[in-house]
Structure 1
Amino acid sequence: MSPPDLPESLISVMSGIQRLVRRRLRPGVTGPRLRGAQVELLRLVGATPGIGVSAAAKELYLAGNSVSTMVNQLTADGLLHREPGHDDRRSARLLLTAQGEARLRDWRERRAALVRAHVERLDEDDRQALAAAVPALRKLADSLLEEVAHP
């Protein structure tokens, strides 16, 4: 049985960590400042090269016109490339540009180094507790994703 404040505590801590990591990494970012949804779109395109705008909108749970606007912005910034679809020339396939790939890679590497440095500052018991919590957090994320995908 979990304490009644566990859900709120988890959300608060996870959101805080995300916010602090972004804040710490932001000064080293070159190029245009991106909003969270734009980064999510870049990550999705990196993981699913050639994904279409409609499929990306569905995957990100965003309106198609919102994703289309982000695609236009990220294309203008040189981070995304849009090419005609294979079957329907009116549709678009999305691909990361070399600049977009480099930006995501740099962000991931810097994020991992930052978190690694702070995890290493913790004592062994805390590091083991974090490692033990990861599978449960993954199951929580999978459960939330499943509920969204199949309401």
Structure 2
Amino acid sequence: MEADFSEELADALVRIQRLIRRRLRSGLTEPRLRGAEVELLRLVEARPGIGISDAARALHLAGNSVSTLVNGLVRDGRLARETDPADRRAARLQLTEAAEKRLEDWRRRRAELVGRHLSGLDEADRAALRAALPALRKLAAALHEEAEDL
């Protein structure tokens, strides 16, 4: 029974994320960003000045994969690579204004999309989802901690 619940929950979360991503892609006038690119931009937003190796660890990706993502995002004007004054060989990453605007637009559109669909649910369903948020955050934290140990 617990395995069935785990599988159903994982499937529901994946479906929700996939559908949100698809809906947000429609109507974009700019080239779409891949999931790993968005994750990297959000990480740099949360931790301005992060280095490539720290970003790789935080995203659980190989350093050369993050370097490739950084090179593309720098070329596209979404990331700025600055030299670390303490170690001239190391780069520190910063969002560009274009990336900040893109992330802000993405958040606004995501909130509108999810809000529109939440408003279509009855109050009992909205209350159940609201009540589930702390448990979902704990689940995310546990999954993140396990990934940190890998």
What's the TM-score bracket when you normalise by the shorter of the two chains? over 0.9
Runs of 4+ in structure 1 displaced over 4 angstroms? Answer: none
RMSD of aligned residue pairs (Cα, Å): 1.1
Q: Can you list the C-alpha shifts for 1:71-91, whole angstroms capped at 9, x where unaligned? A: 000011111000101211111
Q: 1-side partners of 2:27 and 2:46: how far apart?
A: 24
Q: CA deviation at 1:34?
A: 1.1
Q: 1-side partners of 2:83 and 2:143: how far apart?
A: 34
Q: CA deviation at 1:147?
A: 1.6
Q: Can you list the C-alpha shifts for 1:100-124, whole angstroms capped at 9, x where unaligned? A: 0000000011001100110011001
The answer as to 2:72 corresponding to 1:73 is yes
Counterpart in the other structure of 1:149: 148
Consecutive unaligned residues of structure 1, counting only runs of 5 or more, are: none
Counterpart in the other structure of 2:36: 37
Q: 1-side partners of 2:3 and 2:90: how far apart?
A: 48
Q: Which amino acid aligns with 1:27?
A: S
TM-score (norm 1): 0.95
Q: Which amino acid aligns with 1:106?
A: D
Q: Helix, strand or coil: the match of 2:88? A: coil
Counterpart in the other structure of 2:116: 117
Q: CA deviation at 1:29?
A: 2.6
Q: Helix, strand or coil: the match of 1:4? A: helix
Percent of aligned pairs with the same amino acid:
61
Q: Which amino acid aligns with 1:71?
A: V
**Structure 1 segment 1-150 matched on structure 2, within 5 A:** 3-150=2-149
Q: Helix, strand or coil: the match of 1:5? A: helix
Q: Helix, strand or coil: the match of 1:95? A: strand
